[in-house]
Amino acid sequence: MPFIPHTPDEQREMLATIGVDSIEALFEDIPKKFRAAELNLPEGLSEMEVRQKLEKTAAKNHTDLTSFLGAGFYDHYIPSAVDALCSRGEFYTAYTPYQAEASQGMLQAIFEYQTAVARLLDLQYANASLYDGGTALYEAIMMAVRHTKRSRIVISESLNPIYRVMLDSYTTNLKLDLVTVPHKDCHTDMEAMLAALNGDTAAVIVQNPNFFGTIQDFTALFDKARELGIVSIISTYPIMQAILKTPGRMGADIAVAEGQSLGLPLSFGGPYLGIMACNKQLIRQMPGRIAGRTVDKTGQTGFVLTLQAREQHIRREKATSNICSNQALCALRALMYMSLLGPKGLKKTAQTGIERAHYAANRLERLPGVRVINQPFGNEFTVRLPVRAYEVIDKLLDHKFVPGFPLGRYYEGMDNHLLVACTEKTTKQCIGIMAELIGGAL
Amino acid sequence: MKTIFQDSAKGRAGVWPKEPRGNTEADIPAHLLRSDPPRLPELSEIDVVRHFTRLSRLNYSVDSNFYPLGSCTMKYNPKFTEAVAAQPGFTSVHPLIPQLKGAGNMTQGALEVLYETEQLLGEITGMSAFTLQPMAGAHGELTGVMLMAAYHNDKGNKKTKIIVPDSAHGTNPASAAIAGYDVVSIASKDGMIDPDELEKVLDDEVAGLMMTCPNTLGLFECGLERIVKLIHGVDGLLYYDGANLNAIMGKMRVGDVGFDIVHLNLHKTFATPHGGGGPGSGPVGVSQRLVDYLPISRVVKLEDGQYFLDYDYPKSIGYIAPFYGNFGVILKAYAYILRLGREGIVRASENAVLAANYLRKRIEKHLEVPYDRICMHEFVASAARQAEKGVRALDIAKALLDKGHYAPTIYFPLIVKECLMFEPTETESKETLDGFVDDLIEILGRVESDAASIQNAPVTMPVQRLDEVRAARNMELVDDAGL
């Protein structure tokens, strides 16, 4: 029997030890009226058959597309060593490291991951991971609400709209007031943001680079927030953080990010990685696991899960969050990715994406009626087309090109706007073809 | 072992991407750039590989050790599911592709996986519809409670409370509380929810009850039928925590019993790996009256066999994940269900319950088993007797590590003193179970003669017992090497 080692003889011996004469007798507590009829499931398949079937299923996905889709989720090259190391069963078949002495590998890795994240984002502390960038943002808001005991949240409209709709869902039944400040030509409107802050505000949320790709400095906004006792939250893109002014330097209290770009495949939306870092004052509001360094009885260095008094298994309904399972293996991948690239490799990766995006912007701006909206930008930018973005995408799909994301999907009045992303995997040749195809589609 | 930061040397790197040709400084003004590079590790590739290979060896795992961690269902994670999920046809797909008009046909394979998995889980549990978006069990719980709220709000019900038994996982009360409900805890009687006790706290403000069945003691809730009637009697909803589904697959379908909401843990019951703490996947199934409130998007199959993402559900609770859940995890569970099929799914639960009862019967002569009756897929024992002699559940757990076994869950559920919770799963051989019991007997045999050797365990692991108080006090949560 697949995955079940017992022979019929062994099953009989085990039943004899238990003192019943059939496996069925073990289920007698389930009332007769609740007993299930035979499940209407397909016959089991052999391993070979499952693999053949799912090879066919995979082949139904088009993987021969040349894509300029980003919108917060990017196609970066993943070094081979990441997969090789992460495939070790000692990592991926372990549980949450409750028994520290038998889990030092994972615990030290979490500690190293926390360190790498804190250094990348320039804040004191990081946790062991959350589900994704969107739920990390929701948890950041809840931290701010608990910390300030206020309920008003000011959000820039240039925050990823996927996250904004998630925040709407999560806060439906909570007595919170979410205030969205409109963007101004794809930039966070700094004056309007400053004007929106007041003494009732718990948190202010911005994104850098923002959803449209625009890079801005939020130091003045965060300074003002600090004066008013408001928690400053920034959502960011880890690869770009290799070169961009850091959340810490801008004065953010909490930085969150979607960690997918750090060595995780796009994988149709998950599993991804919710990154969270914060400053010292907020550490006890932090949700999720945190590893800490300590010593054993003999004075030898070791690692444990710590500050657990925040967590659900101790505090139950008074916990800072309900999170239990997180994205540990994804965090491990991110740590491996950052360790293999180092500061130089990460910087080069960021710079190459920026170089390609600027080349693409340049090529597109040569087309009649096409204008790049934001300045400055990194590896992603917004162009306004003389026609609807959907129409252009539709035409390019015939050539197996996805030229970007149509901003009209989330922003009223932006039907002609296209969000274009490049990474180190985007070739100049492909950019050239894409520009020609768009030219032909106008 | 040194940290990767302690092993770094400035100027080294593992992977050397090509030099960029552009001029970043010209593209982005200097005041928007960081002043110093992040102090990330700097090692050659072989040293990164050695570092993580060495770290991996410091872990116990299902692949290397028996892992009877109760409530966690640490069954074998079949390797073919990893191969299935690693196919570029799945890993390379951008999640926004199917949201582009005209590109819906480009991800038919991925949408088929989602749709078919929902159907299979629906059949196994008897629920009307599923969402696969929740990314872990607790995330599924929160989604479930949000569904409860949507249902009551829609009906105009004034509901403020959710009832949670004291034997429940800590995530249950935490999920109910963060969704905005007051949590009412009820005491267990003989290890079960006491319907009389439930009746006492029941009123029109009760939104629902969250329960685990079999419960965290591994016992089937005998009062189930009455509990369902009581809760539905106040228009409350019944939530089923699927952490223990591995006990009842093919034996009972929670939808048939009258549960309204169920979350499953694909990383438990459906054999996807735990990853050292995640990623998991916590799909939520609902009864017919809650279908309209499920998160969007939902995968729909058209008459011509095509799949598409439907967002047109005005009563939906909205978006709880950026996309469609932890797709890579869902894919592994799908492959596992296809492999097992109709008979294999039932066989998994039968043998999980067989193994748990066998282990219980062998252990009960040596450790007190407070609920002395047929258990489901797990059971709890108590080291209260040993604790009187100075050997606590924690000590026994640590001594088991020295014998090469991971420890059972300890001190949970909270209602049993010096609790040890064992869940062997269906994938462990009789020899493994016997070897484990023999080792446990040897340890317990030392309680009288040499308690100190148990209290000092472990002594063969990479570290001995760690100072947790110091960790919490000093808060050394990041490395300072190389700064």
- pLDDT one-digit tens code per residue, A193-221: 999 999 999 999 999 999 999 999 999 99
Across the interface, which of B149, B252, B346 has its CB nearest the CB of A173? B149
CB contact under 8 A, B56 and A29: no
Mean predicted confidence (pLDDT) in A45-73: 97
Q: Which candidate from A45, A108, A272 shows the least CB-CB separation from B55?
A: A108
Residue type, B397: A
> Going along A152-248, which residue ranges are E strands?
152-156, 177-181, 201-208, 231-236
Find the closest chain A residue to B17 by CA distance. A345
Sorted by sequence, the CB contacts under 8 Å of residue A242 that are 6+ apart come out as A120, A343, A346, A347, A349, A350, B34, B37, B38
- Contact list, A58 vs chain B (CB under 8 Å): 87-90, 109
Residue B73 lies in a domain: no
How many domains, chain B?
A: 3
Q: Which of A58, A308, A315 sits opposite B109 (nearest CB)?
A: A58
The string of pLDDT tens digits covering residues B126-172 is 999 999 999 999 999 999 999 999 999 999 999 999 999 998 888 99
Which positions ≥6 away from A218 have C-beta within 8 Å? Answer: A188, A206, A208, A232, A234, A250, A251, A252
Query: Both B252 and B117 in a single domain?
Result: yes
Same domain, B158 and B260: yes
Residue B71 lies in a domain: no
B280 with A352: Cβ contact below 8 A: no
With CA atoms as reference, the chain B residue closest to A260 would be B94
Give the residues across from B163 on adjacent strands.
B184, B209
Closest of B455, B335, B352, B461 to residue B401, by C-alpha: B461
Of B22, B58, B358, the CB nearest to A354: B22
Q: Token pair of A189, please?
A: 């409107």
Interatomic CA distance for residues A190 and A178, integer angstroms = 18
Model pLDDT, residue A56: 98
Q: Are B329 and B355 members of one domain?
A: no
Q: Within a domain: residue B171?
A: yes
pLDDT tens sequence across B321-338: 999 999 999 999 999 999
Chain B CB contacts of A128 below 8 Å: 277
What pLDDT score does A88 carry? 98
pLDDT in tens, B411-468: 998 889 999 999 999 999 999 999 999 999 999 999 999 999 999 999 999 999 999 9
The DSSP call for residue B234 is T
pLDDT tens for residues A86-124?
A: 999 999 999 999 999 999 999 999 999 999 999 999 999
pLDDT computed for residue B26 by the predictor: 83
User: Chain A residue with minimal CA distance to B372?
Assistant: A18
- Closest Cβ opposite residue B478 in set A114, A132, A309: A114
Tens digit of each residue's pLDDT (9 = 90 or more) over B251-301: 999 999 999 999 999 999 999 999 999 999 999 999 999 999 999 999 999
Residues B354 and B333 in one domain: no
For the CA atoms of A329, A57, B334, A132, the dihedral, rounded to the nearest 10 degrees, stands at 30
Asked if the structure places residue B464 within a domain, the reply is: yes
Out of B31, B87, B462, name the one closest to residue A55 (CB).
B87
**Average pLDDT value for chain A:** 97
- Residue A81 burial (C-beta neighbours within 10 Å; 0-12, 13-18, 19+): buried
The three-class DSSP label of residue A306 is: coil
Last residue of some domain: B307, B339, B371?
B339
Interface-testing mutation among B463, B467, B474, B480, with chain A (most A C-beta atoms within 10 A): B463
Q: Is there a single domain that holds both residue B119 and residue B52? A: no
Average pLDDT score over residue span A295-304? 97
Nearest CA in chain B to A84: B49
The set of residues, in sequence order, having a beta carbon less than 8 Å from that of A153 and lying 6+ positions away, is: A141, A144, A145, A167, A176, A177, A178, A179, A201, A202, A203, A204, A205
Residue A315's pLDDT is 85
What's the Cα-to-Cα distance from A270 to each of A62, A133, A287, B327, rounded to whole Å?
18, 11, 21, 5
User: How would you class A207 by CB atoms within 10 Å of its CB: exposed for 0-12, middle for 13-18, buried for 19 or more?
Assistant: buried
Predicted confidence (pLDDT) per residue in B74-111, tens digit: 999 999 999 999 999 999 999 999 999 888 899 999 99
Largest CA-CA distance found in chain B, in angstroms, rounded:
77
Nearest by CB: A94 against B60, B169, B265: B60
Six-digit token pair at B466?
């760690």
Question: CB–CB of A97 and B326 under 8 A?
Answer: no
pLDDT at B352: 98
Amino acid (one-letter) located at A318: K
The two tokens of residue A177 are 């007031």
- Closest residue in chain B to residue A21, using alpha carbons only: B354
Diameter of chain A by CA atoms?
A: 84
Residue B25 has pLDDT above 80, yes or no: no
From chain A, the residues in CB contact with B466 under 8 A are 100-101, 294-296, 302-304
Name every chain A residue with its beta carbon within 8 A of the beta carbon of B276: 91-92, 94-97, 103, 106, 109, 328-329, 332
Across the range A174-182, mean pLDDT stands at: 96
Residue at B298 is within a domain = yes
What gap in Å lies between CA B442 and CA B444, rounded to an integer? 6
Alpha-carbon separation of residue A111 from A143, A161, A303 (angstroms): 22, 32, 8
Are B41 and A409 inside 8 Å of each other by CB? no
**Interface with A, mutate which of B473, B478, B479, B483 (most A CBs under 10 A):** B478
Task: Provide the domain limits for residue B387.
Answer: 348-471
Residue B109 lies in a domain: yes
End-of-domain residue from the set B339, B367, B387: B339
Q: Measure CB to CB from residue B479 to each of A20, A96, A111 and give the nearest one.
A: A111
Smallest Cβ distance to A39: which of B21, B250, B478?
A: B250
Do A3 and B320 make contact, defined as CB atoms within 8 angstroms? no
DSSP string, B400-451: HHHTT-PPPEES-STTSTTEEEE---TTS-HHHHHHHHHHHHHHHHHHHH-H
Any residues with CB less than 8 A from the CB of A333 and at least 6 apart, and which? A82, A86, A262, A263, A264, A273
CB contact under 8 A, B110 and A215: no
Same domain, B134 and B196: yes
**Main-chain dihedrals φ then ψ at residue A153, nearest 5 degrees:** -120, 125
What gap in Å lies between CA A75 and CA B131, rounded to an integer? 26
pLDDT at B431: 97
The C-alpha atoms of residue A372 and residue A418 are separated, in whole angstroms, by 10
Of B1, B427, B476, the CB nearest to A3: B427
> Which of B32, B37, B126 lies at the smallest CB-CB distance from A376?
B32
pTM higher than 0.90? yes
**Alpha helix segments (H runs only) across A133-214:** 133-148, 161-170, 190-196
Please report, for the domain that includes residue B85, its CATH number: 3.40.640.10
pLDDT digit string, tens, across residues A319-354: 888 999 999 999 999 999 999 999 999 999 999 999
What was the pLDDT predicted at B383?
A: 97
Section A151-179 average pLDDT:
97
User: Is the omega angle on the peptide bond into residue B462 within 30 degrees of 0, that is, cis?
Assistant: no
The minimum CA-CA distance between B368 and chain A, rounded to whole Å, is 16
Q: Do A328 and B275 lie within an 8 Å CB cutoff?
A: yes
Q: Are residues B134 and B259 both part of a single domain?
A: yes
Give the closest residue to A227 by CA, choosing from A248, A190, A208, A201: A201
Q: CA-CA distance, A321 to A285, in Å (whole number)?
A: 9
Q: Are A409 and B57 a contacting pair at CB < 8 A?
A: no
Share above pLDDT 70 across residues of chain B, in percent, rounded to a whole number:
100
B361 and B323 in a single domain? The answer is no
Q: Mutating which of B2, B27, B334, B415 best tests the A interface, going by the most A Cβ atoms within 10 A? A: B27
Q: What is the pLDDT of residue A312?
A: 84
pLDDT of residue A110: 98
pLDDT range class, residue A311, cuts 50, 70, 90:
confident
Class of residue A298 by CB neighbours under 10 A (exposed 0-12, middle 13-18, buried 19+):
exposed
Q: Which residues of B touch A80 (CB under 8 A)?
A: none
- Are residue B313 and residue B382 in the same domain, yes or no? no
Put simply, the answer to whether A245 touches B271 (Cβ < 8 Å) is no
What average pLDDT does this structure show over A361-387?
A: 97
Residue at B313 is within a domain: yes
Show the tokens assigned to A293: 């360094």
CB A80 within 8 A of CB B49: no
Query: What percentage of chain A has pLDDT greater than the value 90?
Result: 96
ipTM: 0.97
CA atoms within 13 A of residue A359's CA, in its CB half-sphere = 22
pLDDT at B414: 86
Alpha-carbon span A389 to B16, nearest angstrom: 37
Alpha carbons A339 and B14: distance in angstroms, whole number = 7
Question: Starting at the edge strand that comes first in sequence, how are the strands of the sheet with B161-165 ordered?
Answer: B129-131, B284-286, B261-264, B237-242, B206-212, B161-165, B182-186
From B65, B462, B398, select the one nearest A90 (Cα to Cα). Answer: B65
- Under 8 Å between Cβ of B186 and B194: yes
For the cut 80, the answer to whether the pLDDT of residue B22 exceeds it is no
Residue B291 CA to its chain's centroid (Å): 24
Residues of B in contact with A244 (CB under 8 A): 28, 32-34
The CATH number given to whatever domain includes residue B462 is: 3.90.1150.10
Pairwise CB contact (< 8 Å): A61 & B109: yes
- Give tens-digit pLDDT for B255-269: 999 999 999 999 999
CB < 8 Å to A95, chain B: 67, 69, 72, 74, 274, 276-277, 406
Shortest Cα distance, chain A CAs vs residue B448, angstroms: 24
Boundary of a domain, candidates B304, B339, B374: B339
Same domain, B126 and B181: yes
Tokens representing B291? 């279908």
Query: Is residue B183 classed as helix, strand or coil in its secondary structure?
Result: strand
Interchain proximity A14–B430, CB inside 8 Å: yes
Q: How far is B45 from chain A (nearest CA, A)?
A: 6
**Which of B140, B46, B51 is CA-nearest to residue B330?**
B140
B33/A20 CB distance under 8 A: no
Same domain, B248 and B168: yes
Domain membership flag for residue B426: yes
Integer CA distances (angstroms), B183 to B42, B163, B175, B215, in order:
49, 6, 10, 18
Least confident of A401-405, B168-172, B389-393: B168-172
- Whether residues B13 and B101 share a domain: the answer is no
What chain B residue is nearest to A68 in terms of C-alpha separation? B94
Give one DSSP letter per residue of B135-177, joined into a string.
-SHHHHHHHHHHHHHHHHHHHT----EEEEETTS-THHHHHHH
Q: Which helix (H) or strand (E) holds A291?
A: strand A291-295
What's the CA gap between B371 and B219, in Å, rounded? 9
Pairing of strands B161-165, B182-186: parallel
The share of chain B scoring above pLDDT 90, in percent, equals 94
- For a pLDDT cut of 70, what percent of chain A falls above it? 100
Nearest to B60 among A96, A102, A348 (CB): A102
Pairwise CB contact (< 8 Å): B329 & A30:
no
Q: Is the pLDDT of residue A310 over 90?
A: no
The rounded distance, in Å, linking the Cα atoms of A159 and B99 is 19
- Sort out which chain A residues have CB atoms less than 8 A from B430's CB and list them: 5-6, 10, 13-14
**How many Cβ contacts (< 8 angstroms) between chains A and B?**
708
Interchain proximity B34–A302, CB inside 8 Å: no
Stretch B43-66: mean pLDDT: 98
Tokens encoding B134: 């929740």
Q: How far apart are CA B379 and CA B425, in angstroms?
A: 12
Q: Do A323 and B138 touch (CB under 8 A)?
A: yes
